[in-house]
Amino acid sequence: SKGESPEVIAIQQPNGKPIQPATVVGHALTALEQGRPVDLMRLSKWTSLPSLQQWDRLREAELSLDVDVVTNDKASAVALLADFIPAAGKAAAERTDEEKAVLAPWYEKIKWFMALRRVGYDPADPDAAGAKRQKLHIGWG
């Protein structure tokens, strides 16, 4: 979309009803999963990718819970997060402000994690067959 930020796209909806910028990012990552071209470098400027350490923590949660986000498109992001952030298992209304602050940045990170896993990207081996096919080259910090 013409290089606009997710915030601009969110407020300029064809039906006139704005959406959340996180929804725009979610739609872009879904498009990636569906094989559509997505400028990940540009998208990554406006969102927070998981660090390698955070990626590893999410992979550990997958293994611990015996969940594969690649083959299970209904995999629960909340369940994965609850594996290492207990507050994620609470109802949103029951979370303290501190718990909400700890969880908030993880929602973007887990969206990236799930989408990239589903297209075969592995930051430990960015030249893996799936990543080459998708031409995914993302800077990791």
* Closest-CA residue to 110 (of 72, 69, 140): 69
Q: How far apart are the first and last CA of the chain?
A: 27
Q: What are phi and psi of 26, to 5 degrees?
A: -60, -40
Domain ranges of the chain: 49-118
3-state SS, residue 95: coil
Per-residue pLDDT band at 114 (split at 50, 70, 90): very high
**pLDDT, average across residues 13-31:** 78
* pLDDT for res 28: 87
- Dihedral, 127, 129, 133, 136 alpha carbons, nearest 10: -30
Which of the residue ranges 94-98, 127-131, 133-137 would you say has the lowest mean pLDDT?
133-137
Q: Which amino acid is at 54?
A: Q
Average confidence (pLDDT) over 37-58: 89
In tens, the pLDDT along 68-104 reads 999 998 999 999 999 999 999 999 999 999 999 999 9
Model confidence at 137, pLDDT cuts 50, 70, 90, reads very low
